[in-house]
Amino acid sequence: MALEVAVKAAVGDPHVLGDCPFSQRVLLTLEEKKISYQRHLINLSDKPTWFLQVNPGGKVPVVKFDDKWVSDSDVIVGILEEKYPQPALTTPPEFTSVGSNIFGTFVTFLKSKDSSDGSEQALLTELKALEEHLKAHGPYIAGEKVSAVDLSLAPKLYHLDVALEHFKKWTVPAEMTNVLNYKKLLFSRESFEKTKAEKKYIIAGWEPKVNP
């Protein structure tokens, strides 16, 4: 039986997959584990009644396990690993926090209107740390095989690429060859191709946050 999963629909097009990186993380995990699922696209500005009844918090993503809807991508991914252990996507504990500050520093830099506030430097510091890690342990965070931490980072790096290029004409520096190679590896996976939002929807999603 297919698992039911509710994820964000695109802003302005409720029939198309939206730009939520946490929703994509869950879809990536389902795809990598080859778990069959039924996808519900939720228009966050007009949430369906059934969705609010099963999930009063109204957040996405949520997955239905044994008649109970569960939210929070960390929790969902943990349950999927437990219930569907093969193929294993567990990241060794010493690597689970690699890259964990990239998304936060990216958002701060993206919203920044002051070029001297240090936000670009903060993001570069995080990316350099990822570069050094990949140089020592790559091509993926835990070596040769993709794992949970990669599936969490992939959507965030995609948002970083699309949004910073569009709003700031900024790209990851060319000398960060391991990071660039890592992004290529992630974005070319079949699971990523199937679950990514179109660039225009990512831009539309960030627009109100960048230009409130």
Per-block mean pLDDT, blocks of 10 residues, the chain (212 long): 95 94 98 97 96 95 96 97 97 97 98 96 98 98 98 98 98 98 98 98 96 90
Active-site residue (options: 20, 89, 142, 153): 20
List of domains in the chain: 3-83 (3.40.30.10), 93-210 (1.20.1050.10)
- Chain-centroid distance of CA 128 in Å reads 20
209 touches 159 (CB < 8 A)? no
DSSP letter (8 states) at residue 145? S
Whether 107 is catalytic is no
What is the C-alpha separation between 46 and 62, in angstroms, rounded?
Answer: 17
The pLDDT of residue 124: 98
What is the C-alpha separation between 89 and 104, in angstroms, rounded?
Answer: 24
The pLDDT of residue 23: 98
98 touches 130 (CB < 8 A)? yes
Q: What distances in angstroms separate CA 110 from CA 58, 99, 115, 144, 176, one per listed residue?
A: 26, 17, 11, 32, 20
* Nearest alpha carbon to residue 105 among 90, 119, 88, 84: 119
The pLDDT of residue 146: 98
**pTM of the predicted model as reported, rounded to 2 decimal places:** 0.96
What is the C-alpha separation between 17 and 7, in angstroms, rounded?
Answer: 8
* Nearest alpha carbon to residue 102 among 60, 190, 164, 145: 164
The pLDDT of residue 52: 96
Residues 187-207: tens digit of each pLDDT: 999 999 999 999 999 999 999
The pLDDT of residue 1: 82
- Please provide residue 185's backbone torsions phi and psi, each rounded to the nearest 5 degrees: -60, -50
| Nearest-5° Cα angle at 174, 32 to 19 | 40
The pLDDT of residue 209: 94
